[in-house]
């Protein structure tokens, strides 16, 4: 995807003619490698059904020959196939059908939106056209109209799928709507919530562009708005007036600088509130309280796994879950145990976290670091990294997320693997058993049950949670279990 230079920064156009044509271009290519130019394969209905069967089966890389073949086939489906839905019906009566043949929308509409993964990442609301305008409807065989057909165009933000950029038919200006989760009871997690749409920014901008702010906490996609030669900023928390002449970003300071040439000074804005004076008052008060209390909050440290980074989704979910209660930090490490542990130990000495959480290889580092009196929570920890990682020795592997250090690939060497021989994981687990809490899955396709066999004889029964509803990666079900463990620790 090509970028354009916009007020001194390279950004991705969204609402320009080029942007509307290319914004979803990344979905055309394999996702297994960075900047891959291989076009994704269009699946047949049989491919789709086989893919779902393999996803439910969860074949292991460490099974017999036939199981390994099925595992490789699953990976091919995951990375190389195009799971976007297709339009169904005929002219003037168009619907939407998934790659497995499931009817997602009836054949009611003049046109429908198709740029999303219908198998792995279904969206709650979908843009549709009646020939006179575009609107949002709920996805399903009995769709509910969420907005009027008042928009000339609707573009869905491509990553989180929570923001809809809308162009007013009368003014041809661009604004934004956002999906929010309203709790149905005292619980605030999404499983107890319903999704609705609310206005985020009125239709006032000539164009909108995508940019990214990289920080020690998490990367944040934000959007630049333009009216003529003036600019502003839009995030999922609000928007600024479009009155500025230039902008700068400070990744380390987690801030934007919106600059008016006639004022000779910059207005500072934090990660979520682009310009405090121009955002909704509730957001302003909320972010001020967070900024004032942040330095007083106790710390949770999260250590990511192999081929991940400090800005992965688990770090973000932990931040959201403990917002206002704990400051969640995440060092960025790699597979080198010596260098990674040195970095982690330096941060521990400085921040003194009360809880340290680690997944996979990060779980191993959580146990092996100088944790002091901190409570340690490990999820499917790699108990024997040298053996587990050996299969990737010498391979140039892409990272699963955009890293703060800018690296896109990592090559695992024998020199790094040999360093693990200097550590005795089981001995340290025995030493720290009273402070270690483990969440292990019997459906772990990478570790099988090896981690359970090592931890079960050592940890107290109440410190070992064994489940069977997620794999090696800690998905939404795994995060639910993790939050229960962490909340229990916090209450003690």
- DSSP states of 139-168 as a string? SSSS--B-S-S-EEEEEE-TTT--EEEEEE
Q: Name residue 154's beta-bridge partners.
A: 166
Q: Which residues contact 343 (CB under 8 A, 6 or more apart)?
A: 331, 333
Contact 292, 285 (CB under 8 A): no
Look at residues 342, 339, 338, 330 and name the one whose alpha carbon lies nearest to residue 305.
330
Q: Which residues contact 305 (CB under 8 A, 6 or more apart)?
A: 358, 359, 360, 361, 362, 363, 382
CA-CA-CA-CA torsion sign (285, 286, 288, 289): positive
Helices (H), 275-371: 281-294, 313-321, 337-351, 361-368
Q: Which residues contact 484 (CB under 8 A, 6 or more apart)?
A: none
Helices 337-351 and 361-368, packing angle to 10 deg: 60
Q: Which residues contact 355 (CB under 8 A, 6 or more apart)?
A: 300, 301, 326, 374, 375, 376, 377, 486, 489, 490
Domain spans in the chain, listed from the N-terminal domain onward: 1-13+158-291, 297-491
Task: Provide the pairing of β-strand 355-359 with 375-379.
Answer: parallel
DSSP designation for 421? G
Q: Name residue 339's beta-bridge partners.
A: none
DSSP designation for 474? -
Compute the CA torsion angle 331, 337, 338, 342 (nearest 10 deg).
20
From residue 115, give the alpha-carbon distance in Å to each of 25, 31, 84, 141, 157.
10, 15, 6, 19, 10
What CATH number has the domain spanning 297-491?
3.40.50.1820
By the 10 Å C-beta count (0-12 exposed, 13-18 middle, 19+ buried), 83 is classed as buried
Q: Name residue 437's beta-bridge partners.
A: 377
Distance CA(349)–CA(371), nearest Å, equals 9
The tokens describing 259, both together, are 């600059």
User: CB 292: neighbour CB atoms within 10 A?
Assistant: 9
CA 382 to chain CA mean position, Å: 23
User: CB 387: neighbour CB atoms within 10 A?
Assistant: 12
From residue 192, give the alpha-carbon distance in Å to each of 144, 187, 342, 443, 487.
21, 6, 41, 26, 17
pLDDT for res 270: 36
Phi first, then psi: give them for residue 113, nearest 5 degrees. Answer: -85, 140
pLDDT for res 213: 74
Look at residues 66, 50, 118, 63 and name the one whose alpha carbon lies nearest to residue 88.
118
pLDDT for res 129: 95
Q: Name residue 87's beta-bridge partners.
A: 96
Look at residues 285, 284, 233 and name the one whose alpha carbon lies nearest to residue 259.
233
pLDDT for res 372: 92
Task: Provide the pairing of β-strand 436-441 with 464-467.
Answer: parallel
pLDDT tens digit at each of 492 positions of the chain: 678 888 888 899 999 988 888 888 888 887 655 566 788 999 999 999 999 999 999 898 888 899 899 999 999 998 899 999 999 999 999 999 999 999 999 999 999 999 999 998 888 899 999 999 999 999 888 888 888 898 999 999 988 888 999 999 989 999 999 988 776 655 544 445 678 888 899 999 999 999 987 655 556 788 999 999 999 888 887 888 888 888 877 766 556 777 777 654 444 443 333 333 334 444 445 555 555 555 578 999 999 999 888 877 788 789 888 988 898 999 989 999 999 999 999 999 988 999 999 999 999 999 999 999 999 999 999 999 999 999 999 998 888 776 777 677 899 999 999 999 999 999 999 999 999 999 999 999 999 999 999 999 999 999 999 999 999 988 888 999 999 999 999 988
């Amino acid at each position: 995807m090509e970028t354009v230079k916009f007020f001194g920064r390279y950004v991705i156009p969204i609402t320009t003619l080029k942007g509307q044509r290319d914004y979803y271009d990344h979905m055309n290519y394999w996702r297994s490698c960075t900047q891959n130019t291989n076009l994704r394969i269009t699946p047949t209905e049989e491919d789709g059904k086989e893919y779902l069967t393999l996803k439910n089966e969860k074949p292991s890389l460490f099974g017999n020959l036939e199981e390994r073949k099925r595992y490789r086939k699953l990976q091919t489906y995951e990375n190389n196939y195009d799971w976007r839905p297709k339009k169904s019906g005929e002219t003037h009566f168009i619907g939407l059908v998934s790659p497995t043949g499931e009817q997602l929308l009836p054949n009611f509409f003049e046109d429908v939106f198709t740029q999303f993964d219908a198998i792995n990442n279904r969206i709650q609301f979908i843009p549709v056209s009646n020939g006179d305008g575009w609107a949002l409807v709920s996805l399903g065989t009995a769709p509910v109209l969420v907005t009027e057909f008042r928009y000339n165009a609707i573009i869905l933000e491509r990553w989180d799928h929570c923001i809809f950029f809308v162009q007013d038919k009368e003014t041809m200006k661009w604004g934004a709507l956002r999906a929010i989760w309203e709790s149905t009871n005292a619980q605030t997690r999404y499983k107890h919530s319903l999704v609705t749409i609310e206005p985020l920014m009125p239709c006032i901008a000539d164009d909108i562009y995508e940019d990214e702010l990289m920080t020690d906490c998490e990367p944040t996609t934000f959007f630049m708005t333009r009216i003529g030669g003036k600019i502003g900023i839009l995030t999922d928390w609000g928007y600024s007036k479009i009155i500025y002449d230039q902008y700068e970003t400070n990744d380390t300071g987690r801030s934007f600088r919106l600059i008016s040439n006639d004022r000779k000074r910059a207005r500072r804005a934090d990660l979520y509130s682009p310009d405090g004076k121009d955002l909704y008052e509730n957001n302003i008060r909320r972010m001020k309280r967070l900024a004032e209390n942040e330095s007083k909050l106790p710390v949770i440290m999260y250590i990511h796994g192999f081929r991940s980074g400090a800005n992965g989704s688990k770090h973000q979910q932990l931040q959201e879950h403990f917002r206002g209660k704990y400051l969640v930090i995440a060092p960025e490490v790699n597979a080198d145990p010596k260098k990674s542990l040195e970095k982690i130990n330096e941060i521990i000495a400085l921040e003194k976290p009360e809880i340290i959480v680690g997944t996979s290889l990060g779980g191993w580092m959580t146990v092996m670091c100088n944790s002091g009196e901190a409570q340690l929570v490990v999820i499917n920890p790699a108990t024997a990294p040298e053996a587990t990682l050996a299969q990737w020795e010498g391979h140039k592997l892409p990272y699963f997320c955009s890293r703060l250090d800018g690296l896109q690939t990592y090559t695992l060497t024998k020199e790094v693997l040999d360093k693990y021989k200097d550590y005795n994981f089981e001995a340290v687990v025995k030493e720290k058993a009273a402070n270690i809490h483990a969440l292990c899955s019997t459906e772990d396709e990478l570790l099988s049950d090896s981690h359970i066999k090592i931890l079960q004889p050592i940890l107290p029964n109440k410190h070992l949670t064994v489940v069977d509803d997620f794999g090696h990666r800690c998905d939404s079900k795994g995060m639910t279990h993790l939050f229960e463990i962490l909340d229990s620790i916090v209450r003690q």
